[in-house]
């Protein structure tokens, strides 16, 4: 990737992606208030969006390095559309809590497995810390969601066995 405008667009789309995740978590918080994770995750994703936008000036300055990667504007736009679609389905009550937890876990996990935040780096300590913190937060979100989902499934099975 050599074009500055393309680099900036990727960072901006990544920030919008985080906002779309936050939007989905916001709907999940409304639909499943018994799950205390949603408001927390909503705030975290908005924070991530702000962090990504905070490094845009460094992209202009050339202090953010981009690697060859398969992440494209098209794939980000597809993912944002999928998140918006899931948000509408959630608003319409098409998911139960287990499905919501699974959707969120799968999405957070795919961000890690697809190396979402490994497509750019920086030698500047502050930027490197932002990128490392984004990765660590995403790992924590994945583990929180996995734990909550697994506990919910176990509780549901126990209720079913008792009836």
| Tens-digit pLDDT profile for residues 66-123 | 875 556 778 889 999 999 999 999 999 999 999 999 999 999 998 887 777 787 888 9
Buried b (16+ CB within 10 A) or exposed e, 110-123: ebeeeebbebbebe
Whole-number pLDDT of residue 73:
79
Contact residues for 114 (Cβ-Cβ < 8 A; gap 6+): 71
- For the question of whether the overall pTM of this predicted structure is more than 0.75, the answer is yes
pLDDT band at 1 (very low <50, low <70, confident <90, very high): very low
75 vs 152: which has the higher pLDDT:
152
Cβ–Cβ < 8 Å for 47, 107: no
> What pLDDT digit, counting tens, does each position of 6-15 carry?
888 888 999 9
pLDDT for the residue numbered 25: 98
Superfamily covering domain 4-162: Ferritin, core subunit, four-helix bundle (1.20.1260.10)
| Arithmetic mean of pLDDT over the chain | 90
pLDDT in tens, 41-73: 999 999 999 999 999 888 888 888 887 555 677
Q: How far apart are CA 151 and CA 97, in angstroms?
A: 12
Residue 24 has pLDDT above 90, yes or no: yes
Burial of 139 (0-12, 13-18, 19+ CB in 10 A): middle
């Amino acid at each position: 990737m050599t074009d500055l405008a393309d680099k900036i667009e990727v960072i901006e789309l990544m920030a919008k992606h985080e906002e779309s995740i936050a939007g989905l978590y916001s709907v999940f918080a409304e639909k499943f208030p018994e799950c205390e994770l949603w408001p927390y995750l909503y705030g975290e994703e908005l924070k991530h969006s702000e962090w990504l936008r905070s490094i845009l000036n460094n992209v202009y300055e050339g202090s953010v390095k981009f690697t060859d990667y398969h992440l494209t504007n098209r794939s980000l736009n597809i993912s944002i559309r999928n998140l918006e679609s899931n948000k509408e389905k959630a608003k319409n009550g098409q998911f139960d809590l287990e499905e919501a937890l699974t959707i969120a876990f799968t999405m957070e996990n795919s961000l890690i497995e697809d190396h979402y935040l490994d497509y750019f780096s920086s030698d500047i300590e502050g930027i490197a810390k932002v990128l490392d913190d984004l990765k660590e937060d995403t790992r924590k979100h994945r583990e929180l969601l996995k734990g909550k989902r697994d506990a919910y499934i176990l509780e549901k099975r126990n209720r079913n066995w008792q009836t």
